[in-house]
Amino acid sequence: MSRAKGYTNAPADVVEELEKSVAVDDFLPSPARIAEMLKKHETIPVTMKLKKETVDRYKRFASKKGIKYQTFVSSVLDRYAKQL
C-alpha cells in the first residue's frame, strides 16, 4: 500500500539559483555516435614519413592525455578524411 507524497515548494535559495541558471546547448554526441566511436575498426599498418617536430608534438600531446600517439595520429587523419 503506497501513500501519495505531497510536493512542497523548493527552498528560497534553490529557487534563486534556478532563476539565475543559464541553459546550455547540448554538445554531447548522440548515443549512436558514441557507440560508433567505440566500435573497433579493422586497421592496417602504414609506413609514412612525417616531420620529426610534428611527431614529437603529437607524442607530447598524447602523453599528456594518456593515450598512444599512433592512435592519436590515426584519429586526426580519420577526422580530416570525414571532412572531405
Give the span between the Cα atoms of 63 and 74, in whole angstroms: 15
The predicted pLDDT at position 79 comes to 85
Of residues 31 and 12, more confidently modeled = 12
The total of structural domains in the chain comes to 1
The 10s digit of each residue's pLDDT in 20-71 is 999 889 888 888 887 877 788 888 999 999 999 999 999 999 999 999 999 8
Domain that holds residue 59: 12-83
Please give the grid coordinates belonging to residue 57. Answer: 608534438
The predicted pLDDT at position 44 comes to 93
20, 22, 25 from 15: Cα distances, Å: 9, 13, 22
Residue 5 resides in a domain: no
Residue 3 resides in a domain: no
Residue 44 resides in a domain: yes
